[in-house]
Amino acid sequence: MAMTVPEEFIRLGDIVAAARLTERLRDHLGRARGVRLGDTGVISNFVHLTNPAAPGVVRVLTKADAGRVFYRRRERGRILHLDIFHEIAYVDHTAVAEALKRAGAAFGRPALLDRVDLQTATGGGRVTGSLNYGLKPTLRRAHLSHVHLAMLLTEEEYPFVFYCLLAVEREILAQGWELRAVEAVVHDASEGRTADLTPYSTPSDSLLRGEGGQPKGHGPMPPEDLWEIVQDPDTLNQVYSLVEDNLTAEMDQLAVDDSAAGGELREVIRKLKDRGYLELRGGQYQLTERGRDLVEYLLNYRREVEMALRKMIRRLPPLTTARPRASSGVRGKRRRCLRSRTVEAAEKGAWLGDLAWPETVVEAMARRRRGRFSLRREDIRVYGGRGPVRVDICLLLDASASMAGERIRAAKHLARHLLFTGPQKVAVVAFQEREVKVYVPFTRSAALLDEGLRAIRPFGLTPLAEGLWRCCELISSSRTRNALLLLITDGVPTVPKWSVNPIEDALEAGRELSRRKVNFTCIGLEPNRQFLRQLSDRAGGRLYIVDELEKDTLVAIAHREWTGLLDQSPRKAGSRP
């Protein structure tokens, strides 16, 4: 379209033609970049942030689309975000709105102001609306340094941007405030959106919202029932895979998928549907309005959700949450884990107490000269207090078909919880069908643990004897400290190892655990009590019979066993846990 712009626009730089200004704007926006307009303005399709320590530098978050973050719009690159910077000031937003209306009249398209939102340190809203919005204190404080405009314009309407810029600059000066020059525009393309946009959450009369409806807040608070759906990283990854595919999984495809993965996916979809995030239309799942809000939240706050989930896993439930219905006694004394003793230099004038002779001699030898040995006061080392040693944990998981669903998720939750809540190393071994696999060797790496746990998919039979034997070898060959083998199972063995009897083979593997003095604990279900009691007795370990393999129960039992191994005194034979 032909452009008619005031002569004042020439002062925006060395571009002398208004058409070239628009072309430059199109070029930068088309390359997903922000552009500085004149001395005071920055425009892009993204969220802008500034640092009070460097107010002249504007950071453009190229992973945070302004339309998606501010208005829940599903399409990207439609909302123009223009900030005009000034000194710290309370710029009257109603006067700015009147200036913008005059700019719309000068441009010949006053109706464009219906698609322009405004915010300053005194308030905001749609330019043609009541302007009684944007009054939240945090939002107003966030705009003390600039006037914020959000616009929905076509490329042919881009010249209107310059009218708005000039109108706002004039109004700021007319109110007696100084403009502030933008020194640099920095593009931040880091993965995900790391900035906290909580201050920008507000109701509004805007007409720029997409199909998602009124945003319900852009801060780190998720929908209140999100944690009823997402309780572990596996489920979170499934939800992300669904929302990235726009949740269009067909019922027929899920119906024929009998794998554990398909069953877990159906469970996630059921929860989303029950809570009103999905609805079934013509055999295909579609997002509801609430669902679109959830999608936008997850896409914009993935890192925050993952961090919150990790904090939830770290929390220790009270030990009283585990109330096993019954447990077997311990046959023979459990091997205790002594606490490590610290060695320190003797304080001058202090009682020497328990001398650490090896360390004392080493210190004296370090001063040895010409073959002569002498002992001085400063060489003396004494034993200090006792600090708890590390107890590494090897989880042996029954990954047969009966463990699919909540049971295997509870076991994976336990593995993550143990890794996040202490100095111990954690290993994960799973047995299923006719094979046993070390999914996670002894490690302190959360990434390695998550990668291994994601690969565990329950199916098939129960080769327990092979699983116990493999754990013996893993513990013997690894640099572990006071390893605890924790078996979690909901069944009895169905695959033999040495003979044709899978139960006798499993009991023989239990004897091997006892011979190698491996600390052993088993958690199982009531129907399998008799066999599991025999196995625990053969292994010289402990048995917990529970009603169900639930997260809190597993965590509480594991911590009870772990802290028990750190106890100074060995437990008495025949005592109950």
Average pLDDT score, the chain: 76
Tell me if 360 sits within 8 A of 451, measured CB to CB.
no
Would 523 be classed as within a structural domain? yes
Radius of gyration for the chain, computed over Cα atoms and rounded to the nearest angstrom: 33
CA distance 339 to 209: 62
Whether 556 and 451 map to the same domain: the answer is yes
The helices-and-strands tally (H runs, E runs) of the chain is 18, 20
Band of pLDDT at residue 333, cut at 50, 70 and 90:
very low
Structure tokens at 105: 């009249």
pLDDT of 79 reads 92
- Do 111 and 179 fall within a single domain? yes
Instruction: Say how far apart CA 260 and CA 202 lie, in whole Å.
Output: 42
- Asked whether residue 92 falls in the same domain as residue 185, the answer is yes
- Please indicate, yes or no, if residue 250 is contained in any of the structural domains: yes
Higher-pLDDT residue of 8 and 67 is 67
* Contact predicate 322/558, CB 8 Å: no
Q: Are residues 347 and 288 in the same domain?
A: no
**What is the sign of the dihedral through the CA atoms of 11, 12, 13 and 17?**
negative
For residues 468 and 506, is the Cβ–Cβ distance under 8 A?
Answer: yes
Flag whether 245 is in a domain: yes
Please indicate, yes or no, whether residues 306 and 351 belong to a single structural domain of this protein.
no
Q: Are 437 and 427 in contact (CB under 8 A)?
A: no
Shared domain check, 371 and 415: no
Same domain, 175 and 284: no
Domain limit, last residue, from 182, 200, 218:
200
Q: Let me know if residue 236 belongs to a domain.
A: yes
Say whether pLDDT at 543 is over 80. yes
Q: Which residue type occupies 479?
A: R
Q: CATH number, domain at 267? A: 1.10.10
Rounded mean pLDDT of 308-313? 68
How far is it, in rounded angstroms, from Cα 304 to Cα 447? 17
In a domain, 209, yes or no: no
pLDDT band at 99 (very low <50, low <70, confident <90, very high): very high
- DSSP conformation letters of 479-523: --SS-EEEEE-SS---S-SSSS-HHHHHHHHHHHHHHTT-EEEEE
CA atoms within 13 A on the CB side of 472: 18
- Note whether 252 and 303 are same-domain residues: yes
Would you place residue 559 in the very low, low, confident or very high pLDDT band (cuts 50, 70, 90)? confident
d(CA 401, CA 436): 14
Percentage helix, strand, coil for the chain under 3-state DSSP, each rounded to 5: 40, 20, 40
For residues 393 and 518, give the distance between their C-alpha atoms in angstroms, rounded to a whole number.
11
pLDDT tens-digit series, residues 529-538 = 889 999 999 9
- 483 and 537 share one domain: yes
- Cβ burial, residue 210 (10 Å; 0-12/13-18/19+): middle
DSSP 8-state secondary structure symbol assigned to residue 176: T
Q: What residue numbers bound the domain in which 132 lies?
A: 7-200
Task: State whether 366 and 458 are in the same domain.
Answer: no
Element spanning 432, H or E: strand 426-432
Amino acid, res. 426: V
What is the C-alpha to C-alpha distance for residues 519 and 577, in angstroms, rounded to an integer?
A: 14
Q: What is the pLDDT of residues 44-96, one digit of tens each?
A: 999 998 887 788 899 998 888 888 888 877 778 889 999 999 999 999 999 99
- Specify whether 430 is located in the same domain as 556: yes
CATH code at position 494: 3.40.50.410
CA distance 328 to 309: 35
Domain assignment present for residue 218? The answer is: no
Establish if 119 belongs to a structural domain.
Answer: yes
Give residue 143's Cα distance to chain centre.
Answer: 30
Report the DSSP pairing between strands 426-432 and 435-443.
Answer: antiparallel
Average pLDDT of span 374-386: 72
466 and 356 share a domain?
no
- Structural domain tally of the chain? 4
Residue 331: per-residue pLDDT: 40
- Helix pair angle (446-454, 406-420), 10° resolution: 170
The model's pLDDT over 425-447, given as tens digits with 9 standing for 90+, comes to: 899 999 888 888 899 999 888 87
Does 377 reside within a domain?
A: yes
Q: Among 387, 406, 424, give the residue marking a domain's end.
A: 387
Residue 233 pLDDT: 63
pLDDT tops 90 at residue 43:
yes
pLDDT of residue 405: 80
